Structure 1
Amino acid sequence: MPSLYRRSLLRRSLATIAAALAPSIATARPSRPMPSVIVIGAGIAGIAAAQRLQRAGCRVTMIEARQRLGGRIWTDRSWPDAPVDLGASWIHGVHNNPVAALARQLDIPTTVYDAGTLSNNLAESRLYDADGAPVTAAWRRQLAADQDQLADRMASIAEKKAGTPLSMHDALRQALQDSALPAGRKTAAFELFSRNVEDDYGASVDEIAAWALQEGSGFGGREVVFPGGYGQLVERLAQGLTILTSHVVEHIDYRGPAVQVHTSQGVLSADKVIVSLPLGVLKEGKLVFTPALPAEKTGAIARLGMGVYDKLYLRFPKVFWDASDIITQLDTKQGIWSNWYALERVTGQPILCALNGGNAARLLEGMQDEAIVASAMQQLRSIYGSAAMQAESWHITRWAADPYARGSYSFPGVDALPDDRKKLAAPIQHKLYFAGEATHNDYSGTVHGALLSGWREARRIYG
């Protein structure tokens, strides 16, 4: 996901990251018997855990509900000359980032595409107003400065009200009330901040805890994408693993010495189980645990939210848009079609990608494909007029409707507690373990967070 206001940069030594990676160095296999492990979910967290466990000498079986691997990493190759990522796209910061290190180690090409850092876009993108008129460079810089000022004020407000449920919406209102900005700029700042938060968290400002602005860490350096698709990373890491696809897990029984995993294809058992399912699936509650999960864990699941962030890829006969990686339009209806990412530099083809989060994404998920494309084309024509030719083909995501995701990535709800992610990650009886981006306290909502969570749970088991 694009990273908007999560600015704190991780300070780790290269040696520490190298030690955490070390996939080319065989893990010493201890003389003691290693447990059998079932890993539920073949996303990046589950695959990372399974790879480490298998190398340590564990007997590992992965279970995946879908027919494909990767979970919320999903590269569509139906355009043979232009693979597109329907899920994760960016490596957010390449300095010391374990995903970037793996990409280099596996010799998977990447391309710099800094449009993922939305905080820089106002100053650097091509910006239009609601009527399709270009916004001046001076106004772009002013808007960017106002956003930074608001984020700082909101963080201060959230810190002062620590321990009290406070939504980002209420913190934003208070920050604007305390601000000396002119009325017109306050309105613009509110609308822009609200829209960008939806893009960053996949949820509206009234759903998110204000302290989320201070949550987590990030990596420095440029942002990059995979011209050949993020799926390459999944495919390489999954090599050599035993993975059972089309196995929907229905019930996990951990009463006995072995854990019984009941699936749509039968029952499997192992000494230990790692649950690396998306938070949205856990929140839905269809997966039965016996005994029931502890109240501390179910409370964390309830308080954390699952955001929605959807994509529309449009392919055209030729490029008609600005020579800019991102085109942004202010004050669009309900925040839909605010940001367009130009991908011709990455794919070599005339492709635009629009990303919509939160309420905008939920609204679009209820529409037919043709209606979505028509709405997008109407917005493009408000900027480019008749030069905006009709799209030839498209790809549309609906992550909230996906029964094996139920959303895109997690966020802290208004009532969430700062340690809820740790509660979600806590193992149970040395039998059940939990991985996934939602369980990582520092890097939630990211591929590197999911990857690190898988390694963390593997260490708990073999360490």
Structure 2
Amino acid sequence: MTMSRREFLAASAALALTPALRWPAFAAPLPREADVVVIGAGAAGIAAARRIIAAGRKVIVIEAGRQVGGRCLTDTTSFEVPFDRGARWLHNPETNPLVKLARGAGLDVAPAPPGQKLRIGRRNARPGETEDLLASLVRANRAIDDAARKADLSCAAALPKDLGDWAGTVEFLLGPYATGKDLKDLSALDQFRAQDRNAMVACRQGLGTMIGKLGEGLPVALATPATRITWGGRDVGVETPAGRITARAVIVTVSSNVLASGAIKFAPELPKRQLDAAAKLTLGSYDHVALLLSGNPLGLPKDEIMIEQSSDARTAFLVANMAGSSLCSVDVAGAFGRDLAAQGEAAMIDFAKEWLGKLFGSDAVAEVQGASATRWNAQPLVQGAMSAALPGGQFARRVLAEPIGNLFLAGEASHETLWGTVDGAWDSGERAADAALKRIGSLKSDTPAQSSPRKPKQRRERGVSGASAGDLGWPGRR
């Protein structure tokens, strides 16, 4: 087989956008036959492959990029500590299987520090001001929940109109920071049904390293994009530049944006029901701008989290002195973050410096010794950050997870309650593997029973001790 010019350029761009990693690239020889082909070696793909091997079936994972991990990507060469360029934290450690698996693989997994600050101009917020923000967030969450019980409208339409000086901060925390999208582009029902993410844990070696470790020993063919999938009969065929693989089933774990883009051809075409679902679950924009400072000019403790009282969308989220180093991450998201990233890495770094200078003074910015920015929207193998349902689109998650004969879709976008998380991607991969094994049959009697969705923890009123917004301790949704 030959690779088209478009496919070659896409693969070349993907490699050019990938930072140098210490995690070794490994590759399995491409077989001509397998029981199941898994497309994508992110969290969902690795989870599915592990499940299939445990059942005694032959699996091959094909990955278009040159490393395992997908949107879990750890850069270990640019700075003095591992820098997660994608997903940064895991959630709900008491029910999250990845925490136990990571520790079993010899990785250091520990609760993320709870420290957080609210900045108002050049000063830290007073206790009363922080309480005002928390109360505004509780009111906003209640309004979104109440609206979602009646109709799946946008979160912006449900938001109280009298949030005053906190309106911009609330909109940032519940929209761009939590989901990568502005509130006008978010389904209120999707937010309402999301499982609360009350606790966070971090892997000191990085989440990309963690997924790589959990993928050790699996048959993974790197730099091997799937170009065409034929399905609908007893067998499926997966075509790649290195040859064709015949299998009994295929699990596709690419992002909803990649699926909707038509980058992978299907014969017959995917049903309109699934394509429409993917189009309703587009990825938001969320990027990290890493700044290496000399010393600690911000005067913040290890892993401190900070936001500002913002009056417009031109704002960001700070994680300072990561892992006790001098590395800080200024995160930009939503429509503002997307537009900024489209201007290139230099513009992103300039904004991060400007933003820090506004809050901490020019002396702090003068201490920047190195910088790097992610641009996930420009990564052709992903095309964004995490999925977030458009208004009226919450039902699409269940549709995306429905088996289509011997073809199964997985990934965080297909998880109804843990979308946007590594946890949800992993769980979706296991579920897709169980569904595929149910169709073709397992060979081992001790195969794990078909998994059911992890039950959401009982919802509680979101107050000071409620669920976090994004990965932050502010009461929100993620």
Q: TM-score, normalised by structure 2?
A: 0.80
Residue 415 of structure 1: how far off its partner (Å) = 2.7
Measure, in 2, the Cα distance between the counterparts of 1:56 and 1:154.
43
Equivalent residue runs for 1:98-117 within 5 Å? 98-114=97-113
- Find the aligned partners of 2:142 and 2:96 in 1 and give their Cα distance: 26
- Aligned residue among 134, 137, 143 for 2:127: 137
Please list, as runs of the form range in 1=range in 2, the aligned pairs for 1:272-291 lying within 5 A after superposition.
272-291=249-268
1:341 corresponds in structure 2 to: 319
Mapped to 2, the partners of 1:371 and 1:363 lie a distance apart of 10
Residue 218 of structure 1: how far off its partner (Å): 3.6
Q: CA deviation at 1:455?
A: 0.9
Distance in 1, Cα, partners of 2:368 & 2:45: 37
In structure 1, the residue matched to 2:35 is 36
Residue 56 of structure 1 deviates from its aligned partner by 1.1
Contact 1:65 1:245 in 2 (8 A): yes
* Aligned-partner Cα distance in 1 for 2:307–2:201: 20
Give the AA of the match of 2:424: G
Tell me what 1:53 maps to. 52
Q: Which residue of the partner structure matches residue 330 of structure 1?
A: 309
* Equivalent position SS for 1:438: helix
Where does residue 211 of structure 1 map in the other structure?
Answer: 189
Tell me the CA shift for residue 454 of structure 1.
1.0
After TM superposition, list the pairs within 5 Å mapping 1:38-187 onto structure 2: 38-79=37-78, 81-114=80-113, 125-129=116-120, 131-160=121-150, 162=151, 165-172=152-159, 175-176=160-161, 186-187=163-164
Q: 1:286: Cα distance to partner? A: 2.4
Paired with 1:103 and 1:199, the residues of 2 have a C-alpha distance of 26
Tell me the matched-pair count.
402
1:105-151 deviations in whole A, cap 9, x for unaligned? 22310232245xxxxxxxx632222x433322211111111111121
Distance (Å, rounded) in 2 between the aligned partners of 1:413 and 1:95 = 30
Structure 2 residue matching 1:57: 3-state secondary structure: coil
Which amino acid in the other structure matches residue 207 of structure 1? D
Cα-Cα RMSD = 1.9
Decide whether the 8 Å contact of 1:96 with 1:219 is kept in 2. Answer: no
Q: Does 1:439 align with 2:414?
A: yes
User: What SS is found at the alignment partner of 1:411?
Assistant: coil
**Where does residue 456 of structure 1 map in the other structure?**
431
Q: Tell me, yes or no, if the aligned pair for 2:341 and 2:347 is still in contact at 8 Å.
A: no
Q: 1:356 aligns to what SS in structure 2?
A: strand
Instruction: List per-residue Cα deviations over 1:90-114 (Å, max 9, x = no partner).
Output: 0112112112121222231023224
- Aligned to 1:353, the other structure's residue is in SS state strand
Q: CA deviation at 1:295?
A: 2.2
Q: Give the whole-Å Cα distance in 1 for the aligned partners of 2:80 and 2:293.
A: 14
1:383 aligns with 2:353: no
- In structure 2, the residue corresponding to 1:270 is in which secondary structure? strand
**1:428 equivalent in alignment to 2:401:** no
Which amino acid counterpart does residue 342 of structure 1 have in structure 2?
A: A
Distance 1:366 1:219, change over 3 A: closer
Paired residue for 1:366? 342
**Equivalent position of 2:177 in the other structure:** 199
Describe the shift of the 1:80–1:305 C-alpha distance in structure 2 as closer, same or farther (beyond 3 A): closer
Structure 1 residue identity aligned to 2:362: S
2:425 counterpart SS class: helix
Check whether the contact 1:86–1:311 (CA below 8 A) recurs between aligned residues: yes
The whole-number CA distance in structure 1 between the counterparts of 2:92 and 2:277 is 29
**Cα distance in 1 for residues equivalent to 2:71 and 2:235:** 30
Q: Distance in 2 between matches of 1:443 and 1:114?
A: 22
Q: Deviations over 1:248-294 (max 9, x none)?
A: 22211114432111223332221110001111111212221111112
Residues 35 and 404 (structure 1), Cα distance of their counterparts in 2 relative to 1, 3 Å cut: closer
Specify the code of the residue in structure 2 equivalent to 1:423.
Answer: V
Structure 2 residue identity aligned to 1:84: F
Residues 458 and 327 of structure 1: is their aligned pair in 2 closer, same or farther, counting only changes over 3 Å?
same
Q: What is the rounded CA distance, in whole Å, between the counterparts of 1:330 and 1:79 in structure 2?
A: 31
Structure 2: which amino acid aligns with 1:322? G
Change (3 A) 1:332 1:64: farther
TM superposition shift of 1:379? 1.5
- Cα separation, 1, equivalents of 2:312 and 2:291: 20
- Do the aligned residues in 2 keep the contact of 1:312 with 1:395 (CA within 8 Å)? yes
Cα offset for 1:227? 1.6
CA distance in structure 1 between the aligned counterparts of 2:197 and 2:288, rounded to whole angstroms: 24
Which of 258, 273, 278 aligns to 1:296? It is 273
For the residues of structure 2 that align with 1:155 and 1:79, how far apart are their CA atoms? 42
Q: Indicate how the Cα distance of structure 1 residues 257 and 92 shifts in structure 2: closer, same or farther if over 3 A, else same.
A: same
Matches within 5 A, 1:342-357: 342-344=320-322, 346=323, 348-357=324-333
Matching residue of 1:411: 388
Per-residue deviation at 1:442?
Answer: 1.8
Distance in structure 1 (CA, Å) of the matches to 2:61 and 2:327: 36
1:400 is paired with a residue whose SS is: helix
Shift of 1:331: 1.6
**What's the CA shift for 1:187?**
2.9
- Whether contact under 8 Å (2:228, 2:240) holds in the other structure is yes
Distance 1:35 1:263, change over 3 A: closer
**Which stretch shows the higher mean deviation, 440-449 or 359-368?**
359-368
Following the alignment from structure 2 to structure 1, what is the Cα–Cα distance between the partners of residues 353 and 217? 45
Q: Assess if the C-alpha contact under 8 Å between 2:61 and 2:219 holds in 1.
A: yes
Q: Using the TM superposition, give the Cα deviation of residue 79 of structure 1 relative to its aligned residue in structure 2, in angstroms.
A: 3.5
Residues 53 and 458 in structure 1, CA contact (< 8 A), matched pair in contact too: yes
Q: Distance in 1 between matches of 2:425 and 2:140?
A: 30
- Separation of aligned partners in 2, 1:452 and 1:420: 17
CA contact (8 A) 1:377 1:390 kept: no
- More displaced 10-residue stretch of structure 1: 280-289 or 57-66: 280-289
**8 Å Cα contact 1:126-1:322 kept in structure 2:** no
